[in-house]
């Protein structure tokens, strides 16, 4: 986007652009979201930034009214380096809180100098600047939306000490951390309630429907207006429930944990599960260039690609779902959870890799080879040989998975789509997609669908969801 487009979005306070850019106001030294309700400054008094980190590096302070830390996350822009995208996810998970850029670059398979060069080229700021902004935003979120002590906030946001948090907040805001929570809405006495922003349009009902038919009995529960599930965080049981506040473009998440230290990790996983960082405007502009898809996109411009709570759980689901119906796979997943997972206070928890690597393939209601593939996957994840966070790109994950006997290309691409949120994963050999492509797009087979899908890059996962949606109407 150019400056003129930014200015039009600013004037309209268009929520579709929330988090896509930030506005620095020269006369106040403050930066805001495009949706900020303050009186609009004159065009000559504003500057535009691609990220909150860039605005902060330029010396602007976050606005205490629109709260930039509440904006939807940075979308995976077309053309952004895969290494940068993966690096952003690792930084969001706190990778730079304990280790340095060298350790991060090692995980991504590049030198620290090259990683810094990539970040500056694509985002305009360094990995360290991104990490510093993430810590500040995490602290501001916790201060504004919870009653956690400042000491707890400092630890959970990655500062390590109250002194460091105080110094950073004082430098950026010119005030103390405790002053940031004045007038803020707090979580209830039991558990935590966090509000997660998204860019409209957002097909929340469609995500609920997708998760409902795949929900693991006893582990997940879905109503017409909410989704919930049991979770294990650092081995401790917990749960969360998510509903939609469509008027304010936020999901309301009630989270219950034995230890609040895992709260921000749960928050990050919920964002991935509901695909909250997606940019519908960018995605739809790409997909509607192809007349074959334009009508489908117009029917549902808020399409999302649901992720998963746990990559391992999604991978097991993908293996179970080979060559059987969605309903049948859901039944089998329920049996696996009941047979191998924990039951705490009448709540079922899905088994960990360590709990599944000891299974006997003969005990699962599926072909022996498929059950053996689950056991082998569990063993590799339990030993650390497979770490879903360490893959620098989706192809390396796919290549690793298909080396396990019993896991094919369809299964690996499904895992890539939902477990690591690859926006370009495409299941061209999916029987349902091939049928829709033949009936409604006039394409002969899966190979023809794959060739056609090149027009939809880098958002083929969304195209696939649109095609699946058509199948549900037939």
pLDDT tens by residue, 172-208:
999 999 988 866 666 666 799 999 999 999 999 999 9
Q: Which two tokens stand for residue 20?
A: 């896509």
CATH number of 83-181: 1.10.10.60
Report pLDDT for 78. 42
How far out from the chain centre does Cα 148 lie? Answer: 25
Give the pLDDT of residue 189: 62
Please tell me the CATH code under which domain 192-263 is placed. 3.30.310.20
User: For the chain, what is the total number of helices (H) and then of strands (E)?
Assistant: 22, 11
CA dihedral 338, 343, 349, 350 (to 10 degrees): -30
Instruction: Return mean pLDDT, the chain.
Output: 92
pTM over 0.75: yes
Catalytically active residues, by annotation:
32, 430
- Calculate the alpha carbon distances from 367 to 137, 319, 363, 370, 371 in Å: 48, 11, 10, 5, 7
Mean pLDDT, residues 450-460:
96
> Could you give the strand order of the β-sheet that contains 30-32, starting from the edge strand earlier in sequence?
46-49, 22-25, 30-32, 61-62
323: left (phi over 0), alpha (psi -120 to 50) or beta: left
Strand partners of residue 338? none
Dist. CA 70–CA 193, nearest whole Å: 14
User: For the chain, how are helix, strand and coil distributed in percent, rounded to 5?
Assistant: 55, 10, 35
Distance CA 220, CA 217 (A): 6
Euclidean distance between CA atoms 244 and 208, whole angstroms:
11
Integer Cα distance of 271 and 138 in angstroms: 14
Which region among 16-20, 312-316, 360-364, 379-383 has the lowest average model confidence (pLDDT)?
360-364
- List pLDDT tens digits, range 423-446: 999 999 999 999 999 999 999 999
For residue 132 the two structure tokens come to 């510093």
Which tens digits make up the pLDDT trace of 360-385?
888 888 899 999 999 999 999 999 99
**Tokens in use for 17?**
């652009």
Output the pLDDT for position 202: 98
CATH 3.40.50.1820 corresponds to the domain 311-425: no
Q: 453: which residues sit within 8 A by CB, 6+ positions away?
A: 426, 428, 460, 463
Instruction: Look at the chain and count its residues.
Output: 474
Q: From residue 396, give the alpha-carbon distance in Å to each of 86, 382, 402.
A: 12, 19, 10
pLDDT recorded at residue 182:
67
What are 221's strand-pairing partners? 228
Q: How far apart are CA 256 and CA 239, in angstroms?
A: 5
More confident residue, 275 or 107: 275
pLDDT for residue 82: 73
199, 15 Cβ separation under 8 angstroms: yes
What does the DSSP assignment read for 123-147?
HSS-HHHHHHHHHHHHHHHHHHH--
CB neighbour burial string for 347-359, b if at least 16 within 10 angstroms, e if fewer: ebbbbbbebbbeb
* Ramachandran angles phi, psi of 430, nearest 5°: -70, 130
Which two structure tokens, joined as six digits, stand for 310?
A: 């746990």
What is residue 114's predicted lDDT score, i.e. its pLDDT? 93
Q: Name the strand (E) or helix (H) holding 117.
A: helix 112-123
Domain 3-70, CATH homologous superfamily name and number: DNA Methylphosphotriester Repair Domain (3.40.10.10)
How does DSSP classify residue 18? B
In terms of Cβ atoms closer than 10 Å to its own Cβ (0-12, 13-18, 19+), residue 190 is exposed
Name, in order, each residue with C-beta under 8 angstroms of 322's C-beta and a sequence gap of 6 or more: 370, 408, 410, 411
Which residue ranges make up each domain of the chain?
3-70, 83-181, 192-263, 311-425
Q: How far apart are CA 424 and CA 445, in angstroms?
A: 20
pLDDT value, residue 77: 45
Token duo for residue 266: 């749960």
Q: From CA 42, how far away is CA 27, in angstroms rounded?
A: 10
Bridge partners, residue 344, by sequence: 347
- Tens-place pLDDT, residues 26-85: 999 999 999 999 999 999 999 999 889 999 999 999 999 999 999 998 665 444 567 888
Check: CB of residue 388 under 8 Å from CB of residue 397: yes
pLDDT in tens, 269-300: 999 999 999 999 999 999 999 999 999 999 99
Neighbours of 292 (CB within 10 A): 16
């Amino acid at each position: 986007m150019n400056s003129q487009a930014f200015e039009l979005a600013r004037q309209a306070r268009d929520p579709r652009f929330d988090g896509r850019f930030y506005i620095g106001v020269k006369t106040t030294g403050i930066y805001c979201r495009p949706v900020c309700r303050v009186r609009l400054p004159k065009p000559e008094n504003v500057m535009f930034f691609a990220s909150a980190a860039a605005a902060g590096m330029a010396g602007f302070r976050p606005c205490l009214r629109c709260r930039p830390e509440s904006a939807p996350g940075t979308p995976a822009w077309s053309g952004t380096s895969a290494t940068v995208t993966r690096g952003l996810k690792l930084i969001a998970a706190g990778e730079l809180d304990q280790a340095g850029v060298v350790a991060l670059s090692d995980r991504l398979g590049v030198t620290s100098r090259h990683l810094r060069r990539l970040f500056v080229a694509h985002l305009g700021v360094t990995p360290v600047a991104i990490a510093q902004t993430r810590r500040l935003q995490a602290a501001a979120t916790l201060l504004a939306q919870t009653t956690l002590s400042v000491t707890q906030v400092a630890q959970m946001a990655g500062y390590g000490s109250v002194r460091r948090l105080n110094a950073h907040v004082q430098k950026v805001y010119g005030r103390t951390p405790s002053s940031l929570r004045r007038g803020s809405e707090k979580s209830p006495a039991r558990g935590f309630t966090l509000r997660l922003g998204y860019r409209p349009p957002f097909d929340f009902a469609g995500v609920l429907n997708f998760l409902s038919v795949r929900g693991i009995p006893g582990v997940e529960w879905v109503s017409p207006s909410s989704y919930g599930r049991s979770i294990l965080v650092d081995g401790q049981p917990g749960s969360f429930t998510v509903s939609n506040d469509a008027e304010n473009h936020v999901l309301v998440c009630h989270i219950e944990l034995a230890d609040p230290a895992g709260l921000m990790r749960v928050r990050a996983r919920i964002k991935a599960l509901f695909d909250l960082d997606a940019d519908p405007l960018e995605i739809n502009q790409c997909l509607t260039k192809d007349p074959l898809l334009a009508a489908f996109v117009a029917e549902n411009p808020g399409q999302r690609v649901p992720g998963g709570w746990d990559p391992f759980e999604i991978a097991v689901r993908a293996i179970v779902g080979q060559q059987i119906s969605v309903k049948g796979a859901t039944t089998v997943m329920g049996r696996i959870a009941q047979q191998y997972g924990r039951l705490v206070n009448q709540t079922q928890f899905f088994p960990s890799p360590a709990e599944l690597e000891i299974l006997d393939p003969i005990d699962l209601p599926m072909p022996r080879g498929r059950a053996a593939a689950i056991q082998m996957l569990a063993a590799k994840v339990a030993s650390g040989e497979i770490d879903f966070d360490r893959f620098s790109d989706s192809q390396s994950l796919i290549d690793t998975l298909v080396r396990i006997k019993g896991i094919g290309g369809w299964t690996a691409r499904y895992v890539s789509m939902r477990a690591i949120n690859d926006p370009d994963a495409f299941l061209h050999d999916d029987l349902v997609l091939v049928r829709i492509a033949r009936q409604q797009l006039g394409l002969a087979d899966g190979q023809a669908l794959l060739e056609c899908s090149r027009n939809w890059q880098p958002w083929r996962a969304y195209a696939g969801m649109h095609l699946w949606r058509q199948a549900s109407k037939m």
